[in-house]
Structure 1
Amino acid sequence: MASEMELVGRLVMSAVLGSVIGFERERLSWAAGLRTHMLVCVGSTLIMIVSIYGFSDALGAHVTLDPSRVAAQVVSGIGFLGAGAILARGQVIRGLTTAASVWSVAGIGLAVGGGLYIPSIAATIIILLILAGIKPLEKRFIAYQQRRHVTIKARHGQLTLGTFNHALGISANRVKQFIVQPAETPEFDKVYIVFSRMSPQEYAMIRKKFNDIPGVEAIAERASDEDIDPYSW
């Protein structure tokens, strides 16, 4: 069995490695930030230590120890934190990367708890490179595939999500947001639509279908990497 000081050292190491990943998420103001990642990493390390050493007194002739049984519950149980990171932004589906980072940090904690120091450090570096280093390359080389933000002025009550989906057909699965708000005049509505990332050719095909939607008076559009914040209008 490892000494108590070594076990404490594992907990401290997991806190440090978790903080490295958490700081990258914290600077982007995500719900799961520095403290969340540190807690997940330390907690999973502690669970791994308990799984390995916590039941040694119960070992006997008819009792065997499987250290993976308790640790395996971390992999499935961490999902509720990932779901919280995703749902924290209301109706906008965002936070998948942060949820993945929380799940990965749990893996780092398990590795530290198992005494796999080099792999845990390597995993921390790799995850940090993925989170902070790949994003600029992704924006540079996939810039032509942008989310499309469209504002439609339509007669009051005529443009609903049902009629919009019917007009677009299979292309309706590209819709990420569909928000209807009253316009300046009561006889019209403002409809804000966000389409998922697509090529200009794909968007051009969808754009032609707008003419088949009843009640549409005017259309304005722009390309953006960000979701529309419905509370900023």
Structure 2
Amino acid sequence: MVARLALAALFGSVVGLERERLLWAAGLRTHMLVCVGSCLIMLVSAFGFADVLGTEHVVLDPSRIAAQVVSGIGFLGAGTILLRGEVVKGLTTAASLWGVAAIGLAIGSGLYVPALATTALIVGILAGVKPFEERWRERMRAHTLRLTVRRGMMSIDTLQAATGERASRVRTFTVHPSDDPALDAVTVTFVRLSRTSVATIAAKLRAMPDVVAVAEE
């Protein structure tokens, strides 16, 4: 039993180190504690009532205590989720806590190979998938160009001619007078375009004779 607890601490630390690397509040110690605690709960559930099993009319379900870990760990996960403006942060850390709780239960029940495989998978997902996720989010993020053009010389047709096949990626196109009566201020927002593609479009717009300035955001 002590060896199982130590193994749970080790596996929890592997996942916790990845979260600690990113300076999340739920880092190394939190993941270790969750994994060890889940392991102990599983041990209690499996072996803690052996002395009363032989008693007449006593029927025990060793899975009932362990089942409460799955729902009970939610309060820790909720504590790691934050809303910053319009962006939700901490969902991945909450999921990793839930995952190490499952690892602890598996080790407590003696399922060492599944626990090891799950630890490897979780670390691989947290560390290995993140670069692809960030690349995809960067591509899906909205990019805005702010143009200063000669009055009445920029229309949606003119913009479509400059953007070519990427015209379908224009989310918003607004034109309003600027402080200079001879100029218009134009705001164009693109979605599902990489920063490189937006920079290419900005270069084409700058080359147009009626465009005075282009600023990227």
Fold match (TM-score > 0.5): yes
How many residue pairs get aligned? The number is 163
Q: Evaluate the alpha carbon distance shift between residue 48 and residue 137 of structure 1 in structure 2; reply closer, same or farther with a 3 A threshold.
A: same
Q: Please state whether the residue corresponding to 1:93 is helix, strand or coil.
A: strand
Give the equivalent residue in structure 1 for 2:37.
Answer: 43
Distance 1:143 1:82 in 2: 26
Matches within 5 A, 1:84-123: 84-87=79-82, 91=85, 92-123=87-118
Deviation at 1:64, TM superposition (A): 1.6
Superposition RMSD in Å:
3.1
Q: Evaluate the alpha carbon distance shift between residue 77 and residue 142 of structure 1 in structure 2; reply closer, same or farther with a 3 A threshold.
A: same
Distance 1:107 1:41 in 2: 8
1:9-50, CA deviations, whole angstroms, 9 ceiling, x for partnerless residues? 000000000000000000001111000000000000000000
Distance 1:139 1:97 in 2: 13
Deviation at 1:150, TM superposition (A): 10
Give the equivalent residue in structure 1 for 2:74.
Answer: 79
Find 2:51's aligned residue among 57, 79, 88: 57
* Structure 2 segments unaligned to the other structure (5+ residues): 147-165, 177-184, 192-217
Distance 1:113 1:134 in 2: 29
Distance 1:81 1:210 in 2: 48
Distance 2:168 2:137 in 1: 15
Distance 2:113 2:13 in 1: 17
Identity %: 56
Are the equivalent residues in 1 in contact too, given 2:144–2:189 (CA < 8 A)?
yes
Q: Evaluate the alpha carbon distance shift between residue 78 and residue 61 of structure 1 in structure 2; reply closer, same or farther with a 3 A threshold.
A: same
Deviation at 1:72, TM superposition (A): 0.4
Deviation at 1:57, TM superposition (A): 1.4
Distance 1:86 1:200 in 2: 37
Distance 1:84 1:9 in 2: 30
Q: Please state whether the residue corresponding to 2:139 is helix, strand or coil.
A: coil
Q: Please state whether the residue corresponding to 1:63 is helix, strand or coil.
A: coil
Give the equivalent residue in structure 2 for 1:131.
Answer: 126
Question: What is the TM-score normalised by the length of structure 1?
Answer: 0.61
Give the equivalent residue in structure 2 for 1:34.
Answer: 28
Distance 1:200 1:35 in 2: 50
Distance 1:54 1:142 in 2: 48
Q: Evaluate the alpha carbon distance shift between residue 35 and residue 219 of structure 1 in structure 2; reply closer, same or farther with a 3 A threshold.
A: farther
Deviation at 1:106, TM superposition (A): 0.2
1:146-204, CA deviations, whole angstroms, 9 ceiling, x for partnerless residues? 256899xxxxxxxxxxxxxxxxxxxxxxxxxxxxxxxxxxxxxxxxxxxxxxx9956x3
Please tell me whether Structure 1 or Structure 2 has the larger radius of gyration of its CA atoms. Answer: 2
Give the equivalent residue in structure 2 for 1:159.
Answer: none
Give the equivalent residue in structure 1 for 2:173.
Answer: 208
Deviation at 1:208, TM superposition (A): 3.1
Question: What is the TM-score normalised by the length of structure 2?
Answer: 0.66
Are the equivalent residues in 2 in contact too, given 1:15–1:39 (CA < 8 A)?
yes
